Homo-oligomer: A and B are copies of this chain.
């Protein structure tokens, strides 16, 4: 695994070379992220197969990269460490979804 900080630094350099930080308030970053999430979902629309055919894998890769990019920029703007917040959330979910009650069931899982 290459280093996550390297990706964050590259994203910020890309942004700053274009003077785009002025557009990147948190509300717009969140909106951009959800638009990319919709483009990701579009790859699966109307298909009976919940996995992508090989010829669409490069689009999955690109849409997922856009989502991660905006998530990392939004975390950075709000002083959050992406890895720490994921680990903290797993901790919360461990309490919320005890293994014995959650095993094999999608009930309440939608509220994750």
Question: B-contacting residues of A (Cβ < 8 Å)?
Answer: 1-7, 10-11, 14, 17-20, 22-23, 25-28, 30-35, 37-47, 50-52, 57, 60-62, 64-69, 71-72, 74-75, 78, 80-90, 92-94, 97, 99, 102-104, 106, 109-110, 112
Whether A69 lies near B86 (C-beta < 8 A) is: yes
Copies of this protein in the complex: 4
Whether A2 lies near B81 (C-beta < 8 A) is: yes
Give every chain B residue within 8 A of A57 (Cβ-Cβ): 78
CB distance from A57 to the nearest CB of B (A): 7
Whether A83 lies near B3 (C-beta < 8 A) is: yes
A89-B106 in contact given A35-B38, A41-B34, A50-B25 (Cβ < 8 Å): no
Whether A62 lies near B89 (C-beta < 8 A) is: yes
Choose among B19, B61, B88 the residue that contacts A80 (Cβ–Cβ < 8 A).
B61
Whether A99 lies near B62 (C-beta < 8 A) is: no
Counting chain B CB atoms within 10 Å of each CB, the highest count among A10, A11, A14, A89 belongs to: A89
